Amino acid sequence: MLSRRNLLLGGGAASALFLVPVDSRAKNNLLVTDFGAAPDPGRDNLSAFQAALEHAAEIGGGTVHVPEGVWHIKFDRKVNSLKIPSNVTLKGAGQDTIISVMQQTEDRTHVFTNANWKKGNSNIAISDVTIRCNGFGWQEGSRDARINGVTFWNVANSSVERVSVTEGHGYGIWLTGKSARCVVKQCSVTDFGDYIELSNGATNNLIVDNTCLSTGAYHFSSNGILLYKDADHNIVARNTVTGGYGSAISTVSGYGPANSNLIAQNTIDADRAVGIYLAGHNNKILSNDIKALYNCCILFDKGEYSPRRTVIEKNNIHADLTHSPTEERKAALASFSRAENTVLLDNRITALNGDGARISGRNWSIVSNEIVVESDHQHAGIQTLEHSNGMLTDNTIMAPNPMLLHENSAFLIDP
């Protein structure tokens, strides 16, 4: 863990203040092997790990060290998680410290979580381990036996760093239940349901320098990084999201939107999925590199959570729409009629066989963008739809049809 300091990132509505916890636990260093754990084939280390974590808390906090090796953990209906108390760190020796789940359970499983969901915990950490979920986890109707790698529920001033989570039907890393001022940094999540997720009032958290990868080996992948239901004032920055999801990054689920977040400097290769799916208000999309195949790089929600007061600035957007399955999504950026007060500023947008930007909604400011469309058909650099309005200023457009303005749209055009 880092020494205590104030870390200020972002600006405006998306700024967040992070209080990084003090490493006061270094004075108490424990070895999990001293509590009976051993990296032996078939050996269940659940009780030994839990005993070490609880003892660290009892002596005033400490770090539980886990050496290299494959450490098997067997969950069941009575015990479905390893619980980390406040002021305790679990620290491995790197990627070769592997926590391996041994069997499927009939209940929701959290490989690591905090000890007290109701009252909450603080100053806890997990670092330098690999969590191998081995393809476990399932959900059928109301029966939920998904598996999460790490769950922080109502946790403050804590971190997950250099943790690799692989192969599970659930959430790789989940911050929820009003978790705040937490850092998820330099983690890797591969082949999960939702890879990194923030929800239910998770605020002022930093998600930075992580990798989310779908190899295609599993078909339950949904979102690379998902923010929803009042996950507000978070920063999602410098992450790499690769593979086929519902969307690479999303600010909404069926439970509601996330607002006032900064999504910046991420590298997204969404394959056939949406790059960024936008909903909620006051979100800022800044300096991302977004690629998509068959689908929109940026797609606005068109329901009750349609974006308001969104800023999309300095992004590099590239969409190959040659084989897009629907005409509605045959644009690098597509919005719908309920969007309000959107700023599209200084982006580079490239579309192959589709529109550059398809604009709908009220009070758009479209300024200083460079839009290139390569198409055998009359696709537009900017197409405005019915009842949309706003301002078009100082854009550079190279397209078979630079601007296609609907007769019932109203835009002030200043070349």
pLDDT tens per residue, range 82-124: 999 999 999 999 999 999 999 988 899 999 999 999 999 999 9
Q: Is 1 part of a structural domain of the chain?
A: no
Q: Is 17 part of a structural domain of the chain?
A: no
- The tally of CA atoms less than 13 A away on the side-chain side of residue 137 is 28
Whole-number pLDDT of residue 378 = 87
- Under a CB-based contact definition with an 8 Å cutoff, are residues 285 and 263 in contact? yes
- Higher-pLDDT residue of 290 and 104 is 290
- Under a CB-based contact definition with an 8 Å cutoff, are residues 192 and 217 in contact? no
pLDDT at 15 over 60: no
For residue 14, the SS3 value is: helix
Q: Which domain, by its residues, includes 301?
A: 126-414
What total number of domains does the chain contain? 1
Whole-number pLDDT of residue 271 = 86
Q: Is 258 part of a structural domain of the chain?
A: yes
| Closest C-alpha among 313, 268, 273 to residue 291 | 268
| Closest C-alpha among 314, 325, 321 to residue 358 | 321
- Could you tell me which residues are beta bridge partners of residue 19? 6
Q: What is the rounded CA–CA span in Å between residue 139 and residue 26?
A: 40
Structural tokens at position 341: 């007060």
Q: Is 134 part of a structural domain of the chain?
A: yes
Q: Is 82 part of a structural domain of the chain?
A: no
Q: Is 56 part of a structural domain of the chain?
A: no
pLDDT tens per residue, range 293-307: 989 999 999 999 999
Q: What is the CA radius of gyration of the chain?
A: 23
Q: What is the rounded CA–CA span in Å between residue 333 and residue 327?
A: 13
Whole-number pLDDT of residue 5 = 32
Q: What count of other Cβ atoms lies within 10 Å of the Cβ of residue 78?
A: 7
- Our measurement of the distance from residue 185's CA atom to the centroid of its chain's CA atoms, rounded to an integer in Å, reads 12
pLDDT tens per residue, range 131-146: 999 999 998 888 999 9
State in Å, rounded, how far the first CA of the chain is from the last one. 52
**How many residues can be counted in the chain?**
415
Q: What percent of the chain shows pLDDT beyond 70?
A: 92
pLDDT tens per residue, range 373-407: 999 888 999 999 989 999 999 999 999 999 999 99
- Higher-pLDDT residue of 288 and 337 is 288
Q: Is 336 part of a structural domain of the chain?
A: yes
Q: Is 244 part of a structural domain of the chain?
A: yes
- Could you tell me which residues are beta bridge partners of residue 269? 242, 291
Here the CATH number for the domain that contains residue 331 is: 2.160.20.10
Whole-number pLDDT of residue 14 = 44
Residue 198 makes CB contacts below 8 A (sequence gap 6+) with 174, 175, 176, 179, 205, 207, 226, 227, 228, 231, 234, 258
pLDDT tens per residue, range 154-168: 999 999 999 999 999
